[in-house]
Structure formats: C-alpha cells, structure tokens
Structure 1
Amino acid sequence: MAELGVLRGEHRVELVEGEIVEMSPIGSRHAACVTACNDAFHACAINAVIWVQCSIEFPSHTQLQPDVALLRPRADRYAAGLPRPDDVLLVVEAADSSLVYDRDTKARLYARAGIEEYWLVDLTRSTLWMHRHPAGERYTAMTAMQSGETASRRRSLRAQFRSPTCCRDELYGSGLAFLTELIRFISSEPALRF
C-alpha cells in the first residue's frame, strides 16, 4: 500500500483481520522499554532471533508488529519469509497509550494464534503482565508483577516463572535473567514513576 501511495512510509499500521489499524506513535517511555527488552535479551545470550518491531504473519488476514518477539532460530533469520505463530517463542508489548488495544485485541489475537507466552509491560502502572497457556481467544494463566513488589514477592514470582514456557528448550533458562532485568528496568527507570 505504501508503494501505491495509500500509506506514507512514516505511517505505523497493522493488518488486523483484514482491516488496517493505525498504531499509536512511539513515545520516549515506550522506546526506552523496547530498548531495555532488546538489551536484556542480548545480555542473556538467548538462543533465539530477537525480532524488534517487525511484522509477524498470522491467520485471518492479520499481520502484527509486536514490540519485541523471540523467534525460533533459523539460518536465514526469516529473510525468506515473515515468521508465523509457530515460529514465535515469546511476544513482549510495551503499552502506555496503547494499553487497551494491547491488553484486549492483541492478547486475543496472540492467544487465538497459539502464542504460548505474551508479556505486556504496562508503562502507566509500572506493571509486567505475564500471559501463558492460550485456550481459544484468551490465556488461562496470568500473573502481574509491579515495580513496588517486595523482594520476597519478586522471589516468589521468579520461582513461579523459573522455567517460562518460551525458555524450556530454546532459551536454556535465560528467561529468568531477562525477567529480572526487565523488572529492574521497570523498578528503577525514573521516567516510569509518577
């Protein structure tokens, strides 16, 4: 559509069930969170393709651009074609103005496609929502971790997520290190405090 002049290059859009949906502009907190996710995944030496704000092809005429996705390793790094849901190990979305869309619409689409794990970073409340075990159009397990959590509560949550679904084989337990880094970012980033 950009080639036809319908959309300009600066338009950020997703294709959702055949409809073009304009995405929210990326603000500084959002960009900082995506950068922190990317840095944390690289620091953990994760054995996966780190896919940052690039398209993933879903069924039902849907093409989403998650903020960060971990994909199964592939020699061509998906140059031969966009990844599909079976290639996705984990999706992370950072949300401030897009919270309702990411929490409702995207969670439904990710669950329906069978994405095993979806993490939503709620920048307005400094909360990480971890969605697991898709069933139909929803996730059956959801856990929240907030920046103000006590050390014992964090240890308890980390123990629960010691082996996140996405980390069983492909990521060799690095998910815990990533979770620790992301929570450290949410807890310490001055821009996320009000």
Structure 2
Amino acid sequence: MEKQTLESKKVCRHCHIEKPLSQFEAQKRNKDGHTNRCKSCRCKHRYESGAYQRERERKHSYRSNRPTYYTDEIVQRMMSATHCVYCGEEGNRINGDANELVMDHVYHVGGNAGHNIDDNIVACHRGCNTSKGRLHVYDFYQSSERFTDDLWHEFVKQFASRLLNREPTPSEIEAWKQGFADEAFELTTEVK
C-alpha cells in the first residue's frame, strides 16, 4: 500500500514541492506519464510570459471573425501595466475581478474609427471596460463623477504620446482634448 502512495506523488522541477500526480498534466513520453512541471507552475509561467494574453487575443479574433495583429510590444505593455488608464487606480491579475487589468480599445472596433492596432489599445480595469462599453472615450469620462480633469488630461497625454511617438506639448494636449470633445459631439448628433 505504501508503494502505491509514493508512486502517486511527484516533485515539481520548478517549485520543488512534492504534489499528487493529479497536479501534473499527462505526458506519455515521460516514464511516469506526467510532465515535470506542476499545473500551478505552468499556469504561472504562461501568465508571466504573456501566453495567456496571446491566447485571449486569438480567441477574440476567432469569435469576432476579425483578424487581430497585436505585436509583442502591446502584449508586453499590457503585461507590465499596473494601473487602469481610465480611473488611475491600481489593478490586479485576479481573473474575473472587477479590478483585473484587461485590454480595451479606446475606439471600439465596430465603430468608424476603431482599429485593432497597438495605439488604440490600453490596459484598464474590467469594471471600467464594462462601464465604457461602446461609449466614446470623452463621453465615458464625462458620464462619471469618479473621473477628474487630471485623469482626463493624463489619459489624453498618454494617448497622444503613443500616436506621436514623442511627448506632446501642452498646447497639443489641449488640441487633442478639444478634438475628442468635438468628435464625441459629432457622433452624438449623427445618431439623432
């Protein structure tokens, strides 16, 4: 009986903890029929390397029937993000949590200006992403008392700097702010 108990456990090569074989994926080529890395270490590695993010993008592309061409740069930017671009609060990596940092399109892809390009993608809380939905980013900021002028200024500054590939001047930031406001107004009047 003791021999069977010893055979049903294995030491993970990464965390060096002895775990039951059920914590390892099946792999026929190994003598014991299981991988040398436990499922939790594999999960942690995939998360840290950006493999989960790439898989989510691939599935999104398949479901929406639209090709997505996210570069490694955007994946790294999403993985290194620590704060929500919209509300400025710190995010986490807890799957399904309202404060989980997820990818959002500033201009939704179904809209006139929306594109699946790196400059149109930001990291934000899952809750902010859900609240924003298909709203224009200017309307989203205007719709809540939670968002301040400072947050709006910082968002516009970051967005403009990505598109310009340099730090925008204060007058350029103000022009971008006005451009967002005008664009939101035009979209609103088109709908009516």
The TM-score, its normalising length taken from structure 1, stands at 0.29
Indicate the structure with greater strand content.
1
Which structure is higher in RCO with an 8 Å CA cutoff and minimum separation 6? 1
Which entry has the higher C-alpha Rg, 1 or 2? 2
The TM-score, its normalising length taken from structure 2, stands at 0.29
Indicate the structure with greater helix content.
2
